[in-house]
A and B are shown apart, each in its own frame.
Chain A
Amino acid sequence: EAAVTQSPRNKVTVTGGNVTLSCRQTNSHNYMYWYRQDTGHGLRLIHYSYGAGNLQIGDVPDGYKATRTTQEDFFLLLELASPSQTSLYFCASSDNNYAEQFFGPGTRLTVL
């Protein structure tokens, strides 16, 4: 059974729309991460968290909010989506900040 799940798997929205991407992990891990993957840039860290209620800023945070409601659940919020946020989004979890990271299946977001 998959330990990191993401929903939705695909999402299409319009410029200015509201989008919430969800991630759940059943690894009992402390750390959770949101990355985006773009051609020419590879994977880049948006936000991460080391526990419920905690949020840390990553390398490309502009235009994104995130919230860690429980140890299991980490959400990425795009409140005014723009076409530049069209991307493949991955969630990951790890036991600590240098341990192996386990990735979800990804969410493909298209902003028209």
Chain B
Amino acid sequence: GQQVQQSPTSLVLQEGENAELQCNFSTSLNSMQWFYQRPGGSLVSVFYNPSGTKQSGRLTSTTVIKERRSSLHISSSQITDSGTYLCAINMGYKLTFGTGTSLLVDP
């Protein structure tokens, strides 16, 4: 089965609403990352978060290794937050990616 599962698959928000994206993994890992992918392709690392909680502006990532889950919280969403959010786990040398959450923020 899939080692990294993300939910929801897609999400539509009104501007200003909050969002919670989930990432669950079925194996132990060394670290994990969240990425944002713009329509058109480029990948931007949002968080490198082996464990615990990290915040950057309106984004907060919480990773609980023993529970094999990570979440990405987006507060006060903006239209420019639209895109795909990918989580990836590192088990030793490569990243194994989830299939992503597609986020659309409407005005």
Task: Name 7 interchain pairs, CB-CB below 8 A, sorted by A.
Answer: A37-B41, A48-B94, A58-B94, A90-B43, A99-B48, A105-B42, A106-B43
Is B77 in the interface zone, CB < 8 Å from A? no
Among A82-112, those with CB < 8 Å from B are: 88, 90, 92, 97-103, 105-106, 108
Alpha-carbon distance A101/B94, docked complex (angstroms):
9
Q: CA of A97 to CA of B91 in the docked complex: distance in angstroms?
A: 9
- State the Cβ distance, A66 to closest chain B Cβ, in Å: 14
Task: List residues of chain A with CB under 8 Å of any chain B CB.
Answer: 31, 33, 35, 37, 42-43, 45, 48, 56, 58-59, 88, 90, 92, 97-103, 105-106, 108
Enumerate chain B interface residues (CB-CB to A < 8 A).
Answer: 30-31, 33, 35, 41-45, 48, 86, 88, 90, 92-95, 97-100
Asked if residues B98 and A42 are in contact (CB atoms below 8 Å), the reply is yes
Summarize A's interface: helix, strand, loop or mixed. strand
